[in-house]
Amino acid sequence: MKPLLLTTAGLAIAMSLAACAKKEESRPAAQEEPGADVGDVTQLAEAAETIAAVDPDAPPADGTERFYGKEAFTIVSKQTGVETGDITEHVRDWGRRRAEIKNTSISVSGFTRSANQRVVQNGAEIVTIDNVTGTVTSMTNPIYDDIVARMRGKSGVEFGGEMMAAMGGRETGEKGSFAGQECDYWELASVGTKTCVTPWGGTLHTLTNMAGMSIEKTAVEVRLGDGGPDEAFAYDASKVEAAPDVGEIMKRAKGGGQ
């Protein structure tokens, strides 16, 4: 089995959960009552369960987990399609710490929205900094510890391949080369996505086509050994606001809320 990185999907789900949490927060109060329709959150909960059933007794991560085969690196990417712009990902401590800097614009059906933000991840904690408004929100990835527990005894790359296969992903046999790095393609047909991942876990190319919309993300620069500047990971802790409890939203989506 060719390697695929755990966090390629795992952290993407965490980010999607964060987006769903914000969607929940913005809904009218009437929809916050018991039995409310939580829409897309149900699908996210099911996807998260496919990766790791949330176990309250899972031992906490001990800070030695390695999600990538490289201790530190930076990937600079260009994105085109319905969302265009630049994305820079800084990774430190084998993936336990990550900072994604995103400056993009989404255009769908005549509606345009810009995103200028940083997302800083330190273990299970995910902090989003809006570079325009200055808003800082924090959430906890509810499946982080359980994923780490299930990964023990395996590299993050090895476990990631197993996880991708469990979600219906398959190796296509295609190979790619971007920014001086080689990668192998995997396909997840259920979400219309093909992604090219290096042997050490970096994602260099992703192409998604769903419902007539497409997004293509391509690495244009890879810097191995460079985990990015300290300021990419810094934020004003006094401004942090708690985001909605994603674990509780997942619980409600599965019918466990009161």
Across the range 2-29, mean pLDDT stands at 37
The residue with tokens 């993050």 is: 156
The residue with tokens 């401590």 is: 93
Q: What is the CATH T-level fold of the domain 6-253, as seen in this structure?
A: outer membrane lipoprotein receptor (LolB), chain A (2.50.20)
**Does the structure show a pLDDT above 60 at 168?**
yes
Across the range 128-149, mean pLDDT stands at 91
Span 189-201, pLDDT tens digits = 988 999 999 999 9
Instruction: Give pLDDT, residue 212.
Output: 82
pTM: 0.77
Instruction: Give pLDDT, residue 25.
Output: 40
Instruction: Give pLDDT, residue 240.
Output: 92
Worst-scoring range by mean pLDDT, 46-50, 158-162, 186-190, 243-247?
46-50
Helix (H) or strand (E) holding 152: none
Distances (CA, A) of 243 to 10, 110, 155, 229: 19, 29, 31, 26
Furthest-apart CA pair in the chain: how many Å?
53
Span 100-131, pLDDT tens digits = 999 999 988 788 889 999 999 999 999 999 99
Span 73-85, pLDDT tens digits = 999 999 999 999 9
**Does the structure show a pLDDT above 80 at 44?**
no
**Does the structure show a pLDDT above 50 at 27?**
no
Q: What is the 3-state secondary structure (H, E, C) of the chain?
A: CCCCCHHHHHHHHHHHHHHHHHHHHHCCHHHHCCCCCCCHHHHHHHHHHHHCCCCCCCCCCCCCCCCCCCCCEEEEEEEEECEEEEEEEEEEHHHCEEEEEEEEEEEECCEEEEEEEEEEEECCEEEEEECCCCCEEEEECCCHHHHHHHHCCCCHHHHHHHHHHHCCCEEEEEEEEECCEEEEEEEEHHHCEEEEECCCCCEEEEEEEECCEEEEEEEEEEEECCCCCHHHHCCCHHHEEECCCHHHHHHHHCCCCC
The number of residues in the chain equals 258
